Amino acid sequence: MRKLVVLSLLFGLAFLAVAFAGGEQESDGAGVSEADTVTLEVWSWRGEDEEGYATIFDAFEESHPGINVEFRTVKNTEYNTVLATALEGGQGPDVMQLRAYGGLQRYTPFLMPLGDKIEALSSFSDASIASASGREDGVIYGVPFANQALGIFYNERIFRENNLSVPTTWDEFITVLDTLKNNGVTPLANGGQAAWMLEIMFGTIGPNFYGGNEFYQEVVAGDTTFTDPRFVRALTRMQSLIPYMPRGFMGLDFASMQANFFTEQAAMYIGGSFEAANFRAQNPDLEIGVFAAPAPAGSPQYIGTWADGSYGVNEATEHPDEAVELARYMASEEFGTMFSNLLGQISPIPGVSADPNSVPVLSQFTDLMNEHETTPYIMLVGFRWEQPTGSVALQNALQGMMQGDLTPQEVAEEVQTQIASWYEPFQN
């Protein structure tokens, strides 16, 4: 088992210029000696995945006896800066996790193009490949690693005890919320201190009211704006959920709102598929299901989705052949199957599906994506290319709305003004 090392900023950025020595190894059965072994560093912002990656990379090493993999993590809020500093200094990992869409563009000058090196990439969906490609040059710089979907988690025991069934229309949803509240149960676990989770909440509820893909395509093209009445209507529906959130919800951070749900203090949690494995780990006895955000009667229920990132190869790696071989493995069904079942994530690799017995809630998300129309998670996919990003603009304005300082119309106007400062289709 390799060493799983967590990078610490306590050592300063100068630490990044120091090469890590690979652990000593004895000769294996294939006759590969320590001197013949290449050590690759893989960097990630997901420390919670260390154990799963240990198993995955053990399998890779077994089939590639000349390559040793060391997995290192950086705190997620500091990862971008640490990685950029390392790459700009000609250092950094051999292989790294990269954020998607606009989050990728900062690093493309330091990444190896992979489109002509990894044949399996040709079978990935266009949406996944777009998340791992340069905006200006269209070059594929990464192997997509996860798709995410949005929905509403619910406590099956609480629903059963309150004689509730899963709602499909907005009116049914409000009835469920009212019933729970009247019965002394907190309906929603969500809070407002983590602004990015308010964006998640809107990305779950909003598409059913602004019109999903039709609005998305129009606003990206500049044929409408965020002050469109459809977008304001979606904001108004989110605002209407305030009475069903915990007391003092604007002070709840991400960990606290999650705990509200997995400790069964609240009946529902509006969130993403990336949280499914954590809920199961925190409370294995939790009876948990997930359903699509309810829509107006007669309207489609949309599932907000996005590609979450990719694995890229450092152009300056001293081991390009081995690094590409690892990236090629990361595009394989074997890798994708382990990734889904061990890390509880939806793999974008064609032919891969999660084991319902290993990650049952994740399988429910996959079913929802098959049953309903999917739509891009609007700000991440369409408007996170320049500063201020659409996500920053929306998150800050949503906090203002949820704490009573802004109306839905004012939120829409603020978002439009900030994005229009750099988005050319809004400037014509």
Q: Is the peptide bond before 388 cis (omega within 30 degrees of 0)?
A: yes
Residue for token pair 């939806």: 346
pLDDT tens-digit profile of 150-162?
A: 999 999 999 999 9
Q: Hey, how many other C-beta atoms are within 10 angstroms of the C-beta on 89? A: 13
Assign 133 to helix, strand or coil. strand
CATH for 148-306+363-426, options being 3.40.50.150, 2.60.120.10, 1.10.3720.10, 3.40.190.10: 3.40.190.10
Task: Encode pLDDT of 329-364 as tens digits.
Answer: 999 999 999 999 999 899 999 999 888 888 889 989
Kindly calculate the radius of gyration of the chain based on its CA atoms and give it in whole angstroms.
22
Instruction: Say what the pTM is.
Output: 0.85
User: What is the residue type of 215?
Assistant: F
Nearest residue to 40 via CA among 14, 17, 72, 11: 72
pLDDT at 266: 98
What 3-state class would DSSP assign to 6? strand
CATH number of 5-145+310-355: 3.40.190.10
Q: What count of other Cβ atoms lies within 10 Å of the Cβ of residue 290?
A: 25
pLDDT tens digits, 255-289: 999 999 999 999 999 999 999 888 988 999 999 99
| Residue keyed to tokens 């001197």 | 35
Among candidates 274, 287, 222, 187, which has minimal Cα distance to 419? 222
Query: According to the model, what pLDDT value does residue 34 have?
Result: 59
Q: What is the pLDDT of residue 360?
A: 87
Q: How many CA atoms lie within 13 A of 179 on its CB side?
A: 18
Q: Do domains 5-145+310-355 and 148-306+363-426 have the same CATH topology?
A: yes
Domain ranges for the chain, please list them. 5-145+310-355, 148-306+363-426
**For 211-220, what is each residue's pLDDT tens digit?**
999 999 999 9
**What is residue 33's predicted lDDT score, i.e. its pLDDT?**
54
Distance between CA atoms of residues 218 and 215, nearest Å = 5
Angle formed at CA 179 by CA 270 and CA 364, multiple of 5 degrees: 35
Kindly state the DSSP code that residue 92 receives in the 8-state scheme: S
Share above pLDDT 90 across residues of the chain, in percent, rounded to a whole number: 84
Q: How confident is the model at residue 3 (pLDDT cuts 50, 70, 90)?
A: very low
At 77-106, the pLDDT tens digits run: 899 999 999 999 999 999 999 999 999 999
Mean pLDDT of 183-189: 98
Find out whether 132 and 79 touch, Cβ atoms under 8 Å: no
- Are 94 and 41 in contact by the 8 Å Cβ rule? The answer is yes
